[in-house]
Amino acid sequence: MNRAKHIAIIMDGNGRWAELQGKKRVKGHEQGAQVVKDITTFCSNHFEIERLTLYAFSTENWKRPRLEVEFLMKLLEKYLRNELPSYLENNVKFEPIGDLREFSKSLQKTIQEVKDKTAHCDGLVQSLALNYGSRNEIVRAVNNLKNSQDTITESMLSDALDCKHDIDLLIRTGGDHRLSNFLLWQAAYAELFFCNTLWPDFTISDLEKIIKKFTKIERRFGGLK
């Protein structure tokens, strides 16, 4: 039986959820942040799940309207500050991935503070992908290795990435069937699940059903069995 030790989620549909309800897109992001909290708490108490990686803000998301981007930055900082006690209570280690240099100094400081204050936690590892793009991640890793005197191996490149752990189960909400530049290296042999549910409507029950299906899949990793 498969174990979903590392789950990654593309949290899609916040804006559409709000628009369908006649609300501003930012209301969808607020509701989506609550779902992040619920799913993280569930995973922290699940005996098999070790890592949860969530696509929170991509390198392409800067193309969105300026006011929406500004709101997302404020929401992220507020979320991290408010969730620190919950991280500690649930023994969750926070490990962001992505190129954080593009964020404001204030947001960078908050991200680092939460990372430092949860560094001792040894339960679930929650990674928020922030200003993250898989191609950007791979390019940065290659640049860090280019002066190496050794022949670059898969292991060396993997260790140079922001996320150094393979994905077991990758989920995308919102109905689209694409990876959108998310964890392309790490998802090489991940099982992919796409669901039509918009992220603000995604529930713990939905996740449990997907995990149950995942446990029954025959994973061959290129072999016959």
Residue numbers annotated as active site? 12, 61
Task: Give the SS3 label for residue 59.
Answer: coil
Q: Which of 132, 122, 141, 77 is nearest to 100 (CA)?
A: 132
98: left (phi over 0), alpha (psi -120 to 50) or beta: left
Residue 37: both structure tokens together: 């909290």
d(CA 174, CA 170): 14
Residue 49: both structure tokens together: 């799940």
Q: Which of 216, 225, 222, 200 is nearest to 11 (CA)?
A: 200
